[in-house]
Copies of this chain bind each other. A is one copy, B any other.
């Protein structure tokens, strides 16, 4: 139990103002791109190709000016917001902002929950993911991206033990091979796999720069980041304490190397189950734990929500879309309501 004494996350959850049956009443919905700049990119062959079926092949010259480094954001502005600050949702590696929008079973995602909680919400696609687009390689990025297979996520996202990815793949075999009590809807693994997007390595500074520009555009806010997005959220909270007023890092895959400043925003770390069964996650968790201690040494509030410690078992790395994702959103939302009543 790492949560501070006297601060019950279950009690906080009751402060959440989620109204599942109410309409979502917005004064504006807009999508936009922010960050990045114009770069002259050359080194392309001008290969003739047919862009339109039946039309003659045309020489396509890609050498020239390209916009590089931007992210995509979708902003939902409530007609009558019931929370003080916009909530920014930052996805993890190999995914896009779509990960907040529904679950593999077609249920509601955290976007729905925080909208019905009355928050303004901004969902983004980080640099080189989804609608943010990616620059060419090898002309700009040096290497091809990683395309994650279903096998690769099976153990890494803690759906099942190492080596248990089933063959043949059926809903039944997936259920049988998963960890007992698994909260992720493993029989919908294919539907989850439809939302994977390629990712590059070594592009963090691009992503962080675009996120900084997003923060400047939005102003003071709360950032909830998952996995790699949680790492970006921690780093942005460290670099921009004037803009990030609270940060929720859901299973962050890395912690900042730099020192946190005094007077930083409150932090909440959220962890699912079976961390100890997976050495990679033990490493990530321990790095986060050390960073939490450094935050606390600076007098920064840093709370630690390990779900199994609260009797909530079976959560995978994808706890934002696990079957009990609403209950976890309520704990996070309650923590935020306690900070900003």
Contact = CB atoms under 8 A, between A and B. Distances in A.
Nearest to A254: B52
A78 to B, nearest CB: 9
A62 B257 contact: no
A255 to B, nearest CB: 9
A31 interface: yes
A55 B283 contact: yes
A101 interface: yes
A131 B202 CA distance: 21
Interface in A35-74: 36-38, 41, 44, 49-55, 58, 60-67, 70, 72, 74
Interface of A: 23-34, 36-38, 41, 44, 49-55, 58, 60-67, 70, 72, 74, 76, 79, 93, 96-98, 101-102, 106, 108-109, 111-112, 115, 125, 130-131, 133-136, 143-152, 169, 190-191, 193-198, 201-202, 204, 228, 231, 253-254, 257, 280, 283-284
15 contacts: A24-B25, A24-B29, A29-B115, A30-B106, A33-B191, A38-B169, A52-B254, A54-B254, A55-B283, A62-B146, A62-B149, A62-B152, A64-B150, A66-B149, A130-B130
